Chain A
Protein backbone atom coordinates (compact mmCIF):
# COMPACT_ATOMS: atom_id res chain seq x y z
CA UNK A 1 0.00 0.00 0.00
CA UNK A 2 1.44 3.39 -0.87
CA UNK A 3 0.62 6.81 0.56
CA UNK A 4 0.18 8.72 -2.68
CA UNK A 5 -3.44 8.40 -3.85
CA UNK A 6 -2.47 9.39 -7.41
CA UNK A 7 0.01 6.54 -7.49
CA UNK A 8 -2.82 4.22 -6.44
CA UNK A 9 -4.90 5.45 -9.40
CA UNK A 10 -2.00 4.79 -11.79
CA UNK A 11 -1.31 1.35 -10.37
CA UNK A 12 -4.98 0.52 -10.79
CA UNK A 13 -4.88 1.63 -14.43
CA UNK A 14 -1.72 -0.36 -15.04
CA UNK A 15 -3.54 -3.56 -14.13
CA UNK A 16 -5.49 -3.34 -17.40
CA UNK A 17 -3.84 -5.70 -19.90
CA UNK A 18 -3.61 -3.10 -22.62
CA UNK A 19 -2.09 -0.35 -20.50
CA UNK A 20 1.61 -1.08 -21.01
CA UNK A 21 2.81 1.95 -19.05
CA UNK A 22 1.28 5.03 -17.48
CA UNK A 23 2.27 8.12 -15.53
CA UNK A 24 1.34 11.67 -14.72
CA UNK A 25 3.89 13.95 -16.33
CA UNK A 26 4.57 17.39 -17.71
CA UNK A 27 7.27 18.88 -19.90
CA UNK A 28 10.70 17.66 -18.82
CA UNK A 29 9.33 16.16 -15.64
CA UNK A 30 7.57 13.01 -14.53
CA UNK A 31 5.26 13.97 -11.67
CA UNK A 32 4.02 10.55 -10.54
CA UNK A 33 5.08 7.18 -11.97
CA UNK A 34 4.40 3.64 -10.78
CA UNK A 35 7.23 1.18 -10.24
CA UNK A 36 8.56 0.79 -13.80
CA UNK A 37 9.19 -2.91 -13.21
CA UNK A 38 5.40 -3.24 -13.46
CA UNK A 39 5.42 -1.81 -17.01
CA UNK A 40 4.89 -4.27 -19.83
CA UNK A 41 8.34 -5.31 -21.13
CA UNK A 42 7.00 -4.87 -24.68
CA UNK A 43 7.52 -1.09 -24.40
CA UNK A 44 11.24 -1.39 -23.62
CA UNK A 45 12.13 -1.56 -27.33
CA UNK A 46 10.44 1.76 -28.01
CA UNK A 47 10.86 3.48 -24.65
CA UNK A 48 13.67 5.84 -25.70
CA UNK A 49 11.98 7.02 -28.87
CA UNK A 50 8.59 7.29 -27.15
CA UNK A 51 10.13 9.39 -24.36
CA UNK A 52 11.62 11.75 -26.93
CA UNK A 53 8.34 12.06 -28.82
CA UNK A 54 6.52 12.70 -25.55
CA UNK A 55 8.74 15.71 -24.89
CA UNK A 56 7.55 17.28 -28.14
CA UNK A 57 3.91 16.60 -27.27
CA UNK A 58 4.34 18.17 -23.83
CA UNK A 59 5.58 21.35 -25.49
CA UNK A 60 2.18 21.52 -27.23
CA UNK A 61 0.31 20.66 -24.03
CA UNK A 62 2.19 23.38 -22.13
CA UNK A 63 1.17 25.92 -24.74
CA UNK A 64 -2.46 24.95 -25.22
CA UNK A 65 -3.66 23.40 -21.94
CA UNK A 66 -4.75 26.84 -20.71
CA UNK A 67 -7.12 27.19 -23.68
CA UNK A 68 -8.79 23.85 -23.15
CA UNK A 69 -6.59 21.26 -24.88
CA UNK A 70 -8.12 18.03 -23.66
CA UNK A 71 -6.66 14.91 -25.28
CA UNK A 72 -3.72 14.17 -27.57
CA UNK A 73 -2.55 10.95 -29.12
CA UNK A 74 0.26 9.76 -31.31
CA UNK A 75 1.10 6.40 -32.80
CA UNK A 76 4.66 5.20 -32.95
CA UNK A 77 5.61 1.82 -34.32
CA UNK A 78 3.18 -0.65 -32.73
CA UNK A 79 2.11 1.59 -29.88
CA UNK A 80 -0.28 4.44 -29.26
CA UNK A 81 0.46 7.06 -26.61
CA UNK A 82 -2.58 8.79 -25.09
CA UNK A 83 -2.35 12.10 -23.23
CA UNK A 84 -5.33 13.15 -21.09
CA UNK A 85 -4.60 16.69 -19.94
CA UNK A 86 -5.35 17.41 -16.27
CA UNK A 87 -7.52 20.56 -16.44
CA UNK A 88 -5.99 23.83 -15.27
CA UNK A 89 -2.49 22.32 -15.23
CA UNK A 90 0.14 21.52 -17.83
CA UNK A 91 0.23 17.94 -16.51
CA UNK A 92 -1.23 15.01 -18.38
CA UNK A 93 -2.15 11.45 -17.59
CA UNK A 94 -0.12 9.46 -20.11
CA UNK A 95 -0.64 5.86 -21.14
CA UNK A 96 1.13 3.69 -23.67
CA UNK A 97 -1.12 1.09 -25.25
CA UNK A 98 -0.69 -1.38 -28.10
CA UNK A 99 -1.79 0.00 -31.44
CA UNK A 100 -4.15 -2.98 -31.82
CA UNK A 101 -5.97 -2.28 -28.55
CA UNK A 102 -9.65 -1.39 -28.42
CA UNK A 103 -8.88 2.25 -27.70
CA UNK A 104 -12.44 3.38 -27.00
CA UNK A 105 -12.83 0.98 -24.09
CA UNK A 106 -9.44 2.02 -22.68
CA UNK A 107 -10.31 5.71 -23.04
CA UNK A 108 -13.29 5.25 -20.71
CA UNK A 109 -11.01 4.01 -17.93
CA UNK A 110 -8.43 6.71 -18.72
CA UNK A 111 -11.19 9.27 -18.25
CA UNK A 112 -12.18 7.68 -14.91
CA UNK A 113 -8.55 7.86 -13.81
CA UNK A 114 -8.29 11.49 -14.87
CA UNK A 115 -11.50 12.38 -13.00
CA UNK A 116 -10.18 10.66 -9.87
CA UNK A 117 -6.85 12.52 -10.15
CA UNK A 118 -8.71 15.84 -10.45
CA UNK A 119 -10.69 14.97 -7.29
CA UNK A 120 -7.49 14.08 -5.42
CA UNK A 121 -5.83 17.34 -6.46
CA UNK A 122 -8.90 19.28 -5.29
CA UNK A 123 -8.90 17.47 -1.95
CA UNK A 124 -5.19 18.22 -1.52
CA UNK A 125 -5.81 21.89 -2.38
CA UNK A 126 -8.66 22.11 0.14
CA UNK A 127 -6.46 20.59 2.87
CA UNK A 128 -3.80 23.25 2.20
CA UNK A 129 -6.43 26.02 2.60
Chain B
Protein backbone atom coordinates (compact mmCIF):
# COMPACT_ATOMS: atom_id res chain seq x y z
CA UNK B 1 0.00 0.00 0.00
CA UNK B 2 1.21 3.54 -0.72
CA UNK B 3 2.75 5.05 2.39
CA UNK B 4 0.84 8.30 2.07
CA UNK B 5 -2.56 6.55 1.74
CA UNK B 6 -4.31 6.16 5.05
CA UNK B 7 -7.86 4.94 5.65
CA UNK B 8 -9.88 3.78 8.59
CA UNK B 9 -13.21 2.26 9.45
CA UNK B 10 -14.95 3.39 12.62
CA UNK B 11 -17.69 1.75 14.65
CA UNK B 12 -19.84 2.60 17.61
CA UNK B 13 -22.44 0.47 19.32
CA UNK B 14 -23.31 3.05 21.94
CA UNK B 15 -27.02 3.83 22.19
CA UNK B 16 -26.73 7.52 22.93
CA UNK B 17 -26.57 9.38 19.61
CA UNK B 18 -24.02 12.00 20.64
CA UNK B 19 -21.69 9.52 22.35
CA UNK B 20 -21.97 7.18 19.35
CA UNK B 21 -21.10 10.02 16.96
CA UNK B 22 -18.03 10.91 18.95
CA UNK B 23 -16.89 7.29 19.22
CA UNK B 24 -17.39 6.42 15.55
CA UNK B 25 -15.35 9.47 14.52
CA UNK B 26 -12.59 8.73 17.04
CA UNK B 27 -12.26 5.08 16.00
CA UNK B 28 -12.18 5.95 12.28
CA UNK B 29 -9.76 8.87 12.59
CA UNK B 30 -7.25 7.07 14.80
CA UNK B 31 -6.13 5.07 11.74
CA UNK B 32 -5.19 8.28 9.90
CA UNK B 33 -2.27 8.95 12.29
CA UNK B 34 -3.19 12.61 12.65
CA UNK B 35 -3.51 13.31 8.90
CA UNK B 36 -6.46 15.49 7.84
CA UNK B 37 -9.22 13.38 6.25
CA UNK B 38 -10.11 14.00 2.61
CA UNK B 39 -13.62 12.71 3.21
CA UNK B 40 -15.71 11.05 5.88
CA UNK B 41 -18.59 8.65 5.16
CA UNK B 42 -21.09 8.08 7.96
CA UNK B 43 -23.74 5.35 7.97
CA UNK B 44 -26.12 4.54 10.76
CA UNK B 45 -29.06 2.30 11.48
CA UNK B 46 -32.39 3.97 12.23
CA UNK B 47 -32.16 3.41 16.01
CA UNK B 48 -30.65 6.81 16.81
CA UNK B 49 -33.95 8.37 15.75
CA UNK B 50 -35.16 7.37 19.24
CA UNK B 51 -31.89 7.77 21.16
CA UNK B 52 -31.10 11.44 20.75
CA UNK B 53 -31.75 11.88 17.03
CA UNK B 54 -29.50 12.11 14.00
CA UNK B 55 -28.60 15.76 14.54
CA UNK B 56 -27.05 14.72 17.86
CA UNK B 57 -25.23 11.87 16.11
CA UNK B 58 -23.73 14.40 13.70
CA UNK B 59 -22.97 16.83 16.54
CA UNK B 60 -21.00 14.05 18.23
CA UNK B 61 -19.06 13.35 15.02
CA UNK B 62 -18.22 17.05 14.58
CA UNK B 63 -16.87 17.29 18.12
CA UNK B 64 -14.02 15.14 16.82
CA UNK B 65 -13.91 15.58 13.03
CA UNK B 66 -11.66 18.40 11.75
CA UNK B 67 -13.69 21.41 10.63
CA UNK B 68 -14.40 21.47 6.89
CA UNK B 69 -14.03 17.73 6.27
CA UNK B 70 -16.39 16.71 3.43
CA UNK B 71 -18.98 14.37 5.01
CA UNK B 72 -21.91 12.46 3.58
CA UNK B 73 -23.92 9.44 4.65
CA UNK B 74 -27.30 8.23 5.72
CA UNK B 75 -29.36 5.53 7.33
CA UNK B 76 -29.00 1.92 6.18
CA UNK B 77 -30.63 -1.39 7.08
CA UNK B 78 -27.37 -2.86 8.27
CA UNK B 79 -23.66 -2.91 7.54
CA UNK B 80 -20.65 -5.17 7.45
CA UNK B 81 -17.13 -3.91 8.09
CA UNK B 82 -13.76 -5.19 9.29
CA UNK B 83 -15.17 -5.49 12.85
CA UNK B 84 -18.30 -7.56 12.13
CA UNK B 85 -21.91 -7.45 10.93
CA UNK B 86 -24.43 -5.08 12.47
CA UNK B 87 -28.08 -4.13 12.16
CA UNK B 88 -27.75 -1.63 15.01
CA UNK B 89 -25.05 0.98 15.37
CA UNK B 90 -23.05 3.46 13.35
CA UNK B 91 -20.03 3.08 11.12
CA UNK B 92 -17.72 5.42 9.25
CA UNK B 93 -15.03 5.25 6.59
CA UNK B 94 -12.45 7.97 6.20
CA UNK B 95 -9.44 8.52 3.93
CA UNK B 96 -6.36 10.74 4.02
CA UNK B 97 -4.34 10.88 0.81
CA UNK B 98 -2.61 13.84 -0.86
CA UNK B 99 -3.46 12.93 -4.47
CA UNK B 100 -7.18 13.31 -4.09
CA UNK B 101 -9.73 16.13 -4.51
CA UNK B 102 -13.25 15.91 -3.10
CA UNK B 103 -16.51 17.83 -3.28
CA UNK B 104 -19.92 17.30 -1.69
CA UNK B 105 -23.11 17.73 -3.75
CA UNK B 106 -26.71 17.84 -2.55
CA UNK B 107 -29.96 17.70 -4.52
CA UNK B 108 -33.27 18.50 -2.82
CA UNK B 109 -36.74 16.96 -3.04
CA UNK B 110 -35.80 13.80 -4.89
CA UNK B 111 -39.34 12.40 -4.78
CA UNK B 112 -41.03 15.63 -5.87
CA UNK B 113 -38.52 16.77 -8.51
CA UNK B 114 -36.04 13.97 -9.17
CA UNK B 115 -34.59 15.51 -12.35
CA UNK B 116 -33.99 18.86 -10.69
CA UNK B 117 -32.41 17.20 -7.66
CA UNK B 118 -30.12 15.12 -9.88
CA UNK B 119 -29.01 18.17 -11.84
CA UNK B 120 -28.46 20.26 -8.70
CA UNK B 121 -26.23 17.60 -7.17
CA UNK B 122 -24.34 16.69 -10.35
CA UNK B 123 -23.60 20.27 -11.38
CA UNK B 124 -22.07 21.00 -7.95
CA UNK B 125 -19.87 17.92 -8.24
CA UNK B 126 -18.83 18.68 -11.84
CA UNK B 127 -17.96 22.31 -11.05
CA UNK B 128 -16.20 21.38 -7.81
CA UNK B 129 -13.84 19.03 -9.59
CA UNK B 130 -13.39 21.17 -12.72
CA UNK B 131 -9.78 22.08 -11.93
CA UNK B 132 -8.68 18.75 -10.54
CA UNK B 133 -5.43 17.30 -11.84
CA UNK B 134 -6.52 13.71 -11.20
CA UNK B 135 -8.23 11.87 -13.99
CA UNK B 136 -9.87 8.97 -12.15
CA UNK B 137 -13.22 10.00 -10.72
CA UNK B 138 -15.87 8.34 -8.63
CA UNK B 139 -18.98 9.33 -6.77
CA UNK B 140 -20.49 7.85 -3.63
CA UNK B 141 -24.15 8.73 -3.21
CA UNK B 142 -27.09 8.19 -0.90
CA UNK B 143 -30.63 9.00 -2.08
CA UNK B 144 -33.72 9.05 0.08
CA UNK B 145 -35.46 5.69 -0.27
CA UNK B 146 -39.16 4.86 -0.39
CA UNK B 147 -41.40 5.80 2.53
CA UNK B 148 -44.77 4.19 3.10
CA UNK B 149 -47.51 6.84 3.03
CA UNK B 150 -49.59 7.24 6.15
CA UNK B 151 -53.26 7.21 5.19
CA UNK B 152 -55.97 8.26 7.62
CA UNK B 153 -57.82 5.24 8.93
CA UNK B 154 -55.31 2.80 7.40
CA UNK B 155 -51.95 3.83 8.82
CA UNK B 156 -48.62 2.91 7.24
CA UNK B 157 -49.08 -0.48 5.67
CA UNK B 158 -47.39 -2.42 2.93
CA UNK B 159 -50.54 -4.44 2.36
CA UNK B 160 -53.66 -2.36 2.05
CA UNK B 161 -56.87 -4.25 1.42
CA UNK B 162 -58.98 -1.65 -0.34
CA UNK B 163 -61.16 -1.81 -3.45
CA UNK B 164 -59.00 -1.60 -6.57
CA UNK B 165 -59.24 1.40 -8.85
CA UNK B 166 -57.22 4.01 -10.67
CA UNK B 167 -57.42 6.20 -7.57
CA UNK B 168 -54.67 4.02 -6.03
CA UNK B 169 -52.14 5.10 -8.67
CA UNK B 170 -53.19 8.72 -8.32
CA UNK B 171 -52.94 8.49 -4.54
CA UNK B 172 -49.43 7.05 -4.71
CA UNK B 173 -48.28 9.69 -7.18
CA UNK B 174 -49.92 12.51 -5.23
CA UNK B 175 -48.45 11.38 -1.92
CA UNK B 176 -45.01 10.95 -3.51
CA UNK B 177 -45.03 14.42 -5.06
CA UNK B 178 -46.76 16.47 -2.41
CA UNK B 179 -45.83 14.82 0.89
CA UNK B 180 -42.73 12.97 -0.37
CA UNK B 181 -44.05 9.75 1.13
CA UNK B 182 -44.08 7.15 -1.61
CA UNK B 183 -41.67 5.63 -4.10
CA UNK B 184 -38.03 6.77 -4.21
CA UNK B 185 -37.67 7.78 -7.89
CA UNK B 186 -33.89 7.55 -7.65
CA UNK B 187 -33.63 6.09 -11.15
CA UNK B 188 -34.82 9.45 -12.47
CA UNK B 189 -32.31 11.27 -10.26
CA UNK B 190 -29.43 9.26 -11.74
CA UNK B 191 -30.63 9.51 -15.35
CA UNK B 192 -30.20 13.26 -14.96
CA UNK B 193 -26.87 12.97 -13.17
CA UNK B 194 -25.60 10.82 -16.03
CA UNK B 195 -25.63 13.86 -18.30
CA UNK B 196 -23.07 15.68 -16.17
CA UNK B 197 -20.96 12.87 -14.76
CA UNK B 198 -20.38 10.65 -17.77
CA UNK B 199 -16.70 9.99 -16.87
CA UNK B 200 -17.46 8.95 -13.27
CA UNK B 201 -17.78 5.62 -11.55
CA UNK B 202 -20.78 5.75 -9.22
CA UNK B 203 -21.68 3.57 -6.28
CA UNK B 204 -24.56 4.32 -3.97
CA UNK B 205 -27.93 3.36 -2.68
CA UNK B 206 -31.20 4.39 -1.19
CA UNK B 207 -31.24 5.22 2.50
CA UNK B 208 -33.65 3.13 4.53
CA UNK B 209 -34.70 2.11 8.02
CA UNK B 210 -35.00 -1.36 9.58
CA UNK B 211 -37.04 -2.51 6.59
CA UNK B 212 -40.23 -0.95 7.90
CA UNK B 213 -40.04 1.50 4.96
CA UNK B 214 -41.25 4.26 7.29
CA UNK B 215 -38.53 6.95 7.46
CA UNK B 216 -34.94 7.38 6.29
CA UNK B 217 -32.35 10.13 6.51
CA UNK B 218 -29.33 11.50 4.66
CA UNK B 219 -26.35 13.33 6.13
CA UNK B 220 -24.23 16.04 4.49
CA UNK B 221 -21.82 18.29 6.34
CA UNK B 222 -23.42 19.16 9.66
CA UNK B 223 -27.03 18.69 8.52
CA UNK B 224 -29.58 15.88 8.49
CA UNK B 225 -31.92 15.61 5.49
CA UNK B 226 -34.92 13.43 4.68
CA UNK B 227 -35.69 13.75 0.94
CA UNK B 228 -32.35 14.53 -0.61
CA UNK B 229 -29.56 13.03 -2.61
CA UNK B 230 -26.19 13.55 -0.94
CA UNK B 231 -23.03 12.62 -2.79
CA UNK B 232 -19.30 13.00 -2.63
CA UNK B 233 -17.32 13.33 -5.83
CA UNK B 234 -13.70 12.19 -5.63
CA UNK B 235 -10.87 12.52 -8.14
CA UNK B 236 -7.61 10.69 -7.57
CA UNK B 237 -4.54 9.12 -9.17
CA UNK B 238 -5.46 5.76 -7.62
CA UNK B 239 -6.96 2.97 -9.68
CA UNK B 240 -10.72 2.47 -9.39
CA UNK B 241 -12.38 -0.91 -9.75
CA UNK B 242 -16.16 -1.44 -9.73
CA UNK B 243 -17.65 -4.90 -9.48
CA UNK B 244 -21.32 -5.59 -10.14
CA UNK B 245 -23.13 -8.85 -9.56
CA UNK B 246 -26.64 -10.04 -8.82
CA UNK B 247 -27.74 -12.13 -5.85
CA UNK B 248 -30.32 -13.85 -8.05
CA UNK B 249 -29.85 -16.66 -10.57
CA UNK B 250 -30.62 -16.27 -14.27
CA UNK B 251 -33.23 -19.02 -14.48
CA UNK B 252 -36.68 -17.55 -14.83
CA UNK B 253 -39.99 -19.27 -14.17
CA UNK B 254 -43.62 -18.41 -14.82
CA UNK B 255 -43.15 -15.69 -17.42
CA UNK B 256 -46.36 -13.66 -17.74
CA UNK B 257 -47.60 -10.62 -19.66
CA UNK B 258 -48.02 -7.29 -17.92
CA UNK B 259 -51.04 -5.76 -19.54
CA UNK B 260 -51.40 -2.61 -17.47
CA UNK B 261 -48.92 -0.48 -15.54
CA UNK B 262 -49.25 2.91 -13.85
CA UNK B 263 -47.64 5.44 -11.48
CA UNK B 264 -44.42 5.97 -13.48
CA UNK B 265 -44.38 2.17 -14.13
CA UNK B 266 -44.00 1.47 -10.40
CA UNK B 267 -47.39 -0.24 -10.25
CA UNK B 268 -48.41 -3.48 -11.96
CA UNK B 269 -52.17 -3.18 -12.33
CA UNK B 270 -52.89 -6.17 -14.52
CA UNK B 271 -51.18 -9.45 -15.35
CA UNK B 272 -52.60 -11.38 -18.32
CA UNK B 273 -55.46 -8.84 -18.40
CA UNK B 274 -56.48 -9.91 -14.88
CA UNK B 275 -56.12 -8.08 -11.55
CA UNK B 276 -52.40 -8.31 -10.72
CA UNK B 277 -52.54 -9.54 -7.14
CA UNK B 278 -55.12 -12.26 -7.86
CA UNK B 279 -53.17 -13.44 -10.89
CA UNK B 280 -49.91 -13.44 -8.93
CA UNK B 281 -51.49 -15.63 -6.24
CA UNK B 282 -52.77 -18.01 -8.89
CA UNK B 283 -49.39 -18.27 -10.61
CA UNK B 284 -47.47 -18.80 -7.37
CA UNK B 285 -50.22 -21.04 -5.97
CA UNK B 286 -50.36 -18.96 -2.84
CA UNK B 287 -53.43 -18.60 -0.63
CA UNK B 288 -54.69 -15.03 -0.27
CA UNK B 289 -53.58 -15.01 3.40
CA UNK B 290 -49.92 -15.06 2.24
CA UNK B 291 -50.18 -11.40 1.29
CA UNK B 292 -50.21 -9.86 4.74
CA UNK B 293 -47.88 -7.55 6.69
CA UNK B 294 -45.43 -10.46 6.93
CA UNK B 295 -44.78 -10.25 3.17
CA UNK B 296 -41.13 -9.36 3.64
CA UNK B 297 -40.64 -12.78 5.25
CA UNK B 298 -41.85 -14.37 1.98
CA UNK B 299 -41.77 -11.98 -0.95
CA UNK B 300 -37.98 -11.51 -0.96
CA UNK B 301 -37.69 -15.11 -2.15
CA UNK B 302 -39.67 -14.25 -5.28
CA UNK B 303 -37.66 -11.64 -7.20
CA UNK B 304 -39.48 -10.35 -10.23
CA UNK B 305 -37.30 -10.31 -13.36
CA UNK B 306 -37.77 -8.86 -16.83
CA UNK B 307 -37.07 -11.41 -19.59
CA UNK B 308 -36.85 -8.59 -22.15
CA UNK B 309 -33.86 -7.01 -20.40
CA UNK B 310 -30.32 -8.43 -20.85
CA UNK B 311 -29.65 -7.88 -17.13
CA UNK B 312 -33.08 -9.29 -16.17
CA UNK B 313 -33.63 -6.21 -13.93
CA UNK B 314 -34.54 -7.95 -10.65
CA UNK B 315 -37.24 -6.15 -8.67
CA UNK B 316 -38.54 -6.39 -5.12
CA UNK B 317 -42.31 -6.41 -4.84
CA UNK B 318 -42.58 -3.76 -2.14
CA UNK B 319 -46.27 -3.39 -1.42
CA UNK B 320 -49.76 -4.55 -2.33
CA UNK B 321 -52.56 -1.99 -2.46
CA UNK B 322 -55.86 -3.46 -3.49
CA UNK B 323 -55.10 -5.66 -6.48
CA UNK B 324 -52.09 -3.58 -7.46
CA UNK B 325 -48.46 -4.61 -6.93
CA UNK B 326 -46.02 -1.77 -6.18
CA UNK B 327 -42.40 -2.18 -7.27
CA UNK B 328 -39.35 -0.45 -5.82
CA UNK B 329 -38.31 0.97 -9.20
CA UNK B 330 -40.05 1.32 -12.58
CA UNK B 331 -40.69 -1.80 -14.61
CA UNK B 332 -39.40 -1.90 -18.18
CA UNK B 333 -40.99 -4.02 -20.87
CA UNK B 334 -44.25 -5.92 -20.84
CA UNK B 335 -43.28 -9.30 -19.42
CA UNK B 336 -42.12 -10.50 -16.02
CA UNK B 337 -41.03 -13.81 -14.56
CA UNK B 338 -39.74 -15.05 -11.24
CA UNK B 339 -36.02 -15.45 -10.68
CA UNK B 340 -34.12 -17.95 -8.54
CA UNK B 341 -33.05 -16.63 -5.15
CA UNK B 342 -31.55 -18.89 -2.54
CA UNK B 343 -28.54 -19.47 -0.32
CA UNK B 344 -26.81 -20.90 -3.38
CA UNK B 345 -27.39 -17.83 -5.59
CA UNK B 346 -26.23 -15.58 -2.73
CA UNK B 347 -23.10 -17.74 -2.32
CA UNK B 348 -22.38 -17.46 -6.05
CA UNK B 349 -22.63 -13.66 -6.04
CA UNK B 350 -20.22 -13.46 -3.10
CA UNK B 351 -17.83 -15.78 -4.96
CA UNK B 352 -18.03 -13.55 -8.05
CA UNK B 353 -17.04 -10.52 -5.97
CA UNK B 354 -14.23 -12.38 -4.21
CA UNK B 355 -12.89 -13.76 -7.54
CA UNK B 356 -12.88 -10.31 -9.09
CA UNK B 357 -11.02 -8.95 -6.08
CA UNK B 358 -8.25 -11.50 -6.54
CA UNK B 359 -6.17 -9.24 -8.80
CA UNK B 360 -4.51 -5.97 -7.82
CA UNK B 361 -3.98 -4.48 -4.41
CA UNK B 362 -7.04 -2.98 -2.74
CA UNK B 363 -6.53 -0.08 -0.37
CA UNK B 364 -10.19 0.10 0.57
CA UNK B 365 -13.57 -1.23 -0.51
CA UNK B 366 -17.03 0.22 -0.34
CA UNK B 367 -19.97 -1.98 -1.27
CA UNK B 368 -23.73 -1.72 -1.51
CA UNK B 369 -26.12 -4.65 -1.49
CA UNK B 370 -29.86 -5.11 -1.28
CA UNK B 371 -31.43 -5.09 2.19
CA UNK B 372 -33.32 -8.20 1.11
CA UNK B 373 -30.00 -10.09 1.26
CA UNK B 374 -29.30 -9.36 4.91
CA UNK B 375 -32.94 -10.05 5.78
CA UNK B 376 -32.61 -13.39 3.99
CA UNK B 377 -29.18 -14.31 5.32
CA UNK B 378 -29.76 -13.31 8.93
CA UNK B 379 -26.80 -14.41 11.04
CA UNK B 380 -25.25 -16.13 7.99
CA UNK B 381 -24.19 -12.66 6.80
CA UNK B 382 -21.06 -13.43 8.83
CA UNK B 383 -20.03 -15.74 5.95
CA UNK B 384 -19.70 -12.61 3.78
CA UNK B 385 -17.81 -10.72 6.49
CA UNK B 386 -15.32 -13.54 6.97
CA UNK B 387 -14.63 -13.82 3.21
CA UNK B 388 -14.19 -10.07 2.81
CA UNK B 389 -11.94 -9.93 5.88
CA UNK B 390 -9.65 -12.47 4.21
CA UNK B 391 -9.57 -10.49 0.97
CA UNK B 392 -9.02 -7.05 2.49
CA UNK B 393 -6.92 -8.12 5.53
CA UNK B 394 -5.79 -4.83 7.11
CA UNK B 395 -7.43 -2.63 4.44
CA UNK B 396 -10.77 -1.11 5.47
CA UNK B 397 -14.00 -2.20 3.84
CA UNK B 398 -17.62 -1.31 4.31
CA UNK B 399 -20.67 -3.12 2.93
CA UNK B 400 -23.96 -1.26 3.26
CA UNK B 401 -27.41 -2.82 3.03
CA UNK B 402 -29.63 -0.34 1.22
CA UNK B 403 -33.14 -0.22 -0.23
CA UNK B 404 -32.05 -0.03 -3.87
CA UNK B 405 -28.58 0.04 -5.38
CA UNK B 406 -27.11 2.55 -7.85
CA UNK B 407 -23.96 2.08 -9.88
CA UNK B 408 -22.41 3.51 -13.01
CA UNK B 409 -19.31 2.80 -15.10
CA UNK B 410 -17.68 5.68 -17.02
CA UNK B 411 -19.39 6.32 -20.35
CA UNK B 412 -22.20 3.89 -19.54
CA UNK B 413 -25.67 4.68 -18.24
CA UNK B 414 -26.36 4.59 -14.50
CA UNK B 415 -28.09 1.45 -13.27
CA UNK B 416 -30.61 1.16 -10.46
CA UNK B 417 -31.10 -2.35 -9.12
CA UNK B 418 -32.52 -4.61 -6.44
CA UNK B 419 -30.95 -7.93 -5.40
CA UNK B 420 -27.47 -6.80 -6.42
CA UNK B 421 -24.06 -6.79 -4.73
CA UNK B 422 -21.64 -4.10 -5.92
CA UNK B 423 -18.20 -3.15 -4.73
CA UNK B 424 -15.92 -0.23 -5.55
CA UNK B 425 -12.29 -0.51 -4.58
CA UNK B 426 -9.37 1.91 -4.69
CA UNK B 427 -5.92 0.53 -5.27
CA UNK B 428 -3.27 -0.33 -7.77
CA UNK B 429 -5.57 -1.62 -10.53
CA UNK B 430 -6.07 0.66 -13.52
Which residues, 35 to 82 on A, are CB-close (under 8 Å) to B?
71
Q: Chain A residues near B294: list those with CB within 8 A.
A: 99-100
Cβ–Cβ contact A108 & B211, under 8 A? no
With beta carbons under 8 angstroms apart, the residue of A12, A71, A105 that contacts B87 is A105
Cβ–Cβ contact A112 & B86, under 8 A? yes
**Least Cβ distance of B121 to chain A in Å?**
29
With beta carbons under 8 angstroms apart, the residue of B210, B297, B382 that contacts A111 is B382
On whether A104 and B86 interact (CB within 8 A), knowing A15-B15, A110-B379, the answer reads no
Cβ–Cβ contact B77 & A105, under 8 A? yes
Cβ–Cβ contact A109 & B87, under 8 A? yes
Interface flag for A16 (CB, 8 Å): yes
On whether A107 and B297 interact (CB within 8 A), knowing A15-B15, A16-B88, A112-B86, the answer reads no
B355-376: contact bitstring with A at CB < 8 Å (1 yes, 0 no)?
Answer: 0000000000000000000111
On whether A104 and B378 interact (CB within 8 A), knowing A15-B15, A99-B294, the answer reads yes
Cβ–Cβ contact B211 & A71, under 8 A? no
Cβ–Cβ contact A108 & B374, under 8 A? yes
With CB as the reference atom, state the residue of chain B lying closest to A111.
Answer: B379
Interface flag for A103 (CB, 8 Å): yes
Interface flag for A106 (CB, 8 Å): yes
Interface flag for B381 (CB, 8 Å): yes
Chain B contact residues, majority secondary structure: mixed
Q: How far is the CA of A99 from the CA of B47 in the complex (A)?
A: 20
B375-410: contact bitstring with A at CB < 8 Å (1 yes, 0 no)?
Answer: 111110110000000000000000000000000000
Cβ–Cβ contact A100 & B379, under 8 A? no
On whether A112 and B293 interact (CB within 8 A), knowing A104-B376, A105-B375, the answer reads no
A1-34: contact bitstring with B at CB < 8 Å (1 yes, 0 no)?
Answer: 0000000000010011000000000000000000
With CB as the reference atom, state the residue of chain B lying closest to A70.
Answer: B379
**Least Cβ distance of A105 to chain B in Å?**
4
Cβ–Cβ contact A108 & B87, under 8 A? yes
Q: Chain A residues near B297: list those with CB within 8 A.
A: 102-103
**Least Cβ distance of B249 to chain A in Å?**
20
B84-108: contact bitstring with A at CB < 8 Å (1 yes, 0 no)?
Answer: 1111100000000000000000000
Interface flag for B296 (CB, 8 Å): yes
Cβ–Cβ contact A107 & B78, under 8 A? no
Cβ–Cβ contact A111 & B375, under 8 A? no
**Least Cβ distance of A17 to chain B in Å?**
8
On whether A105 and B293 interact (CB within 8 A), knowing A15-B15, A71-B379, A112-B85, the answer reads no
The 4 closest A-B pairs by CB, nearest first: A107-B378, A104-B375, A111-B379, A104-B378
Show 16 residue pairs from A and B whose CB-CB distance is below 8 angstroms, ordered by the A residue. A99-B294, A100-B294, A103-B297, A103-B378, A104-B375, A104-B377, A105-B77, A105-B210, A105-B374, A106-B87, A108-B85, A108-B86, A108-B374, A110-B379, A112-B84, A112-B86
Instruction: Please name 16 further chain A to chain B contacts, defined as beta carbons within 8 Å, in addition to the given A105-B78, A105-B374, A115-B84, sorted by A numbering.
Output: A102-B211, A102-B297, A104-B377, A105-B77, A105-B87, A105-B210, A105-B211, A106-B87, A107-B378, A107-B379, A108-B85, A108-B86, A108-B378, A108-B381, A110-B379, A111-B382
